[in-house]
Amino acid sequence: MSNHTVLNLPKHRNPVDANGNLKPNRTASAPYNFVPLPEVVVTVVDDANDWPDHDRYHPKRHTGYFEVTLTTKSPLYVRCPFTRDEFDLDEQDKDRNGHKVDNQTRYADRIKNTPHFFYTRDPDQPLIPGSSLRGILRSVLEIVSYGKVQWVTDKNLFFRRENGQLTFFGRAQMFRLPYSKRPIDLVPTELRRPEDIDYAEALFGFVRTKKELDDMNQRGVIQEIPKQGDKRRAYAGRVYVTDAGLVEGQPDFWLSDDPITPNILATPKPTAFQHYLTQQQPNNKNQLDHYDSPPPHETVIRGYKRYWHQGLNPDEGLTFEQIREQIEDERARLGQLAATSTQHTQFKPIKPGVKFTFRVYFENLSDRELGALCWTLHPLGGSQKEYCHHLGMGKPLGMGAVKLEATLHLTDHPTRYALLFDGDKWQTGTTGSGEALADRSTLERRTHEFEQHVLSALRLNTTCQRLFELKRIGMLLKMMEWPGFRPVLPPAPSNRVVTENGRQRPNTRYMTIQPNEYRDRPVLPNPQAFGGLTGEAEPASSDTSASGGGLTTHRPSHDLGSSPPVPSPPKGASQASPKAQKPKSRQAKATTKKELVTLVEGVKGGKAKVQTEEGEIIVCGNFPPYPQAAAGMRCRAEVTRQDGKAQRAIFKGWK
C-alpha cells in the first residue's frame, strides 16, 4: 500500500527581503490561506475488495461511537433550508410576500436570505445538521491523511470556445486573459487517480463516476467496467454523523435577537493567481506564475483553502456588541444600506460559548482507520495549543470556530447480543465511561498506527515520530490554532504587514479595490509567515518531475520563508555591493543588453528561435501565452553575449 512516487512539487516562496523579513509592498493580506498539496497520496488498500463486507461485524475490527461536545468559540451560523411553501415561491421567482422578484425587491424579503438558523421543528431550537459536521471532519481528514485532491474545478477561466479554439473576446478596456489550462490541470495526475483509495474514501465511502471508470479502463487499471455491487465501483461509508442538538439549560444562545446584515460574503476569485498558485519569484510582479506559465516557470495550485480564526470571543477581550460590530456591515447598522442590495444577506447567528452534542458512529474500522478518525476529531499538535475546526457561514469574518471534545466508546458485540438488558437499561455492549481524547496519552496511543502508516509512505529523510513534525501538517495546525489572528483595521496599504509581540506577520483582512491594492499583484505568504510551526520535516522526493500537472523540471527547493540563497561575499567585499566580488575571467566577457530581435518561428512552450540585428539565430525564452506569436514578429529581448557572440535571450516586450 502507498507504494507511490513522492513528487517534487514547486514550492511557494514568500515575498521577503534578503534578511527574511516580509516586503510590505509585495505582501498580500487575506482572511484565508492554503495548506500545500500532498507530495504523495497515501492509500489504505490496494484493492477495494479487501475492504470488509457490510453484512457482518468483524472481530478484529472496531465498532462503536464517539460522544462529541461541540462548543462555539466564535459566532456560528448554518442557514435553514426552505419550507415547502418557501420553495414553491422561490421556484416561481417570488419573494416571501408573494411578489415577483425584481430590482426593487428588498434583500430581507428574498427567500434565499431567510435569517433562521437550521432547525427541524422549532426555530428556537437550533440544530447543526450532520451533513455539515461530516463535511468539516472529511475536509481535515483529506489533508492530514495525504488524500487525493478531488474538489478542483475543471472549468476554464475567462475565455470563450469556438470550434474547439480559444477566442480572445472583450472590450480592450475590460480585456481579460484567456487561459488554456484549467485549475485541475495544475494538479498532477498522480494526486487524483480514481483507482487510489485514500482514508477519506475508506471511511466515508465513494461512488465512481462513468468518466472515472472509463478512464481506469482505458489505462488498463481495470479490464472491464465493474458491475453493480463490486466494491471497485462503489463502497458505502462506515462513518455516520448525527445532527448536533443544543445542550439543555442554555436559555440565552443568540448573538442578537434581531437578524444581522453581515459584510458582503463574496465568492472565491481564483483568477487572482498570485494568491491561488505557487509563486517562485514573488518579489517581481512581472515574473509571477499564472495558469499558462511556460517552462521553467512551473506552478501548481496552492492547496487546500482554509480560513484564519480571528478570536471573536469574550475570553479574548471582546464584548458581544463588539463581536457583532466585527461581523455586521456598518452601513446596515447606521441605516445607510440600500434595502434593495443584491449582494447582502441576513442571518441570526449563535453566540460564542454555546454547547451542542452529537455522535459519530463507526463500523468495522481497522486500527489505522480508527486512529485517523481520532486525529480528525482531536488534532494532535503542540501540547500547549488549542485547535478548533471551522463550520458554517461567515468564515472570512471570523465566524464558525468550534471546539470538539470527543470520548470514544467501543462496542463488544458478543456482550451486546448475549443479553437484551443490562440491569434496567438496554444492553449496548459498551462499558465504562469511554476514552476521552482530550487526554493526550490516550490520543497518542489511538493515533499511533495511523501516523506511522502515513509517515512511512512519505519516505522522509529525517526521523519523525508524529505528523505534527511535518511542515505541511504544521501549516494545517497553524490555521487551526485558537484564537488565531485578528485583522488589523481600518484597511490601509501600510498595514498589509503588521507587527505583533515584536514579530512581523501578514494582516488577515481583505484588500481593498478603492484604492486598488490588487494592482501590483502582491503575493499571499504561506502560513509559516504567521509564526513558528510545530515541525519542519519534508518528504524526500523520489522523482525529478511530475506528469499531468504541467510539471517537467523544478527549480531548487529553498525554505518557504526565505529568499534564494545568496553566496557570501569574498573577504574584504561589502555585503551590500556584489560588484565588489571579483568574477571569473570567463564571466567578465559575458554581457547582457536589450536589443530588437525577430521571430523566425512560432512560439512553443514559451520559447522560439529569434534573429538578432547581426543575423545570429538564438533561442529566446519567457514569451507570454498571449498574443499568439508568429514568425516575422519583432520584440525586445535581453540578449546575453559571450565573447561578443549571442548565446541566448529573454523576452522583454513586444515592439
567-578 tens-digit pLDDT = 333 333 333 333
> Given a cut of 70, is residue 495 above it in pLDDT?
yes
d(CA 237, CA 202): 7
* All domains of the chain in start order, with CATH: 32-80+116-152+187-530 (no CATH), 588-654 (2.40.50.140)
Residue 239's pLDDT band, with cuts at 50, 70 and 90, is very high
**For residue 168, what are the contacts with CB-CB under 8 A and spacing of at least 6?**
159, 175, 178, 626, 627
The DSSP annotation for 148-165 comes to -------S-SS-EEETTE
Q: Cell for 573?
A: 567585499
d(CA 99, CA 281): 54
20-35 tens-digit pLDDT = 999 999 999 999 999 9
- Identify the pLDDT of residue 271: 74
Residue 386's pLDDT band, with cuts at 50, 70 and 90, is very high
- Identify the pLDDT of residue 549: 39
pTM score: 0.80
- Identify the pLDDT of residue 543: 57
341-378 tens-digit pLDDT = 999 999 999 999 999 999 999 999 999 999 999 999 99
Residue 584's pLDDT band, with cuts at 50, 70 and 90, is very low
Would you give the DSSP letter of residue 186? G
Query: What's the mean per-residue pLDDT of the chain?
Result: 87
Kindly state the average pLDDT of the residues 223-245.
95
Give 460's Cβ-side CA count (13 Å radius): 19
Kindly state the average pLDDT of the residues 419-439.
88
- Determine phi and psi for 315, rounding to 5 degrees: -65, -15
Asked which of 151-160, 392-401, 520-529 is least confident by mean pLDDT, the reply is 151-160
- Identify the pLDDT of residue 514: 87
> Given a cut of 90, is residue 283 above it in pLDDT?
yes
- Identify the pLDDT of residue 567: 35
Residue 566's pLDDT band, with cuts at 50, 70 and 90, is very low
| Higher-pLDDT residue of 616, 74 | 74
Kindly state the average pLDDT of the residues 506-525.
93
Asked which of 304-308, 331-335, 484-488, 533-537 is least confident by mean pLDDT, the reply is 331-335
Are the C-beta atoms of 201 and 145 separated by less than 8 Å? Answer: no
- Identify the pLDDT of residue 340: 92
Q: Cell for 82?
A: 426552505
64-109 tens-digit pLDDT = 999 999 999 999 999 999 999 999 999 999 999 999 999 999 999 9
Q: Residue 317, Cβ neighbours under 10 Å: how many?
A: 9
Q: Using DSSP bridges, classify how beta strands 401-410 and 355-365 pair: parallel, antiparallel or unpaired.
A: unpaired
Are the C-beta atoms of 454 and 464 separated by less than 8 Å? Answer: no
**For residue 431, what are the contacts with CB-CB under 8 A and spacing of at least 6?**
412, 415
| Higher-pLDDT residue of 334, 546 | 334
Are the C-beta atoms of 177 and 339 separated by less than 8 Å? Answer: no
- Identify the pLDDT of residue 561: 37
d(CA 42, CA 196): 8
Residue 161's pLDDT band, with cuts at 50, 70 and 90, is very low
> Given a cut of 60, is residue 607 above it in pLDDT?
yes
- Identify the pLDDT of residue 321: 96
- Identify the pLDDT of residue 268: 66
461-494 tens-digit pLDDT = 778 999 999 999 999 999 999 999 999 999 988 8
- Identify the pLDDT of residue 1: 54
> Given a cut of 50, is residue 231 above it in pLDDT?
yes
Q: Long-range contacts: 50-57, Cβ < 8 Å, 24+?
A: 51/202, 51/231, 51/235, 52/364, 54/236, 54/238, 54/363, 54/364, 57/363, 57/364, 57/413
- Identify the pLDDT of residue 194: 94
Asked which of 320-324, 403-407, 589-593 is least confident by mean pLDDT, the reply is 589-593
- Identify the pLDDT of residue 643: 80
Q: Residue 592, Cβ neighbours under 10 Å: how many?
A: 13
Cα distances (Å, whole numbers) of residue 442 to 89, 144, 429, 439: 52, 19, 21, 5
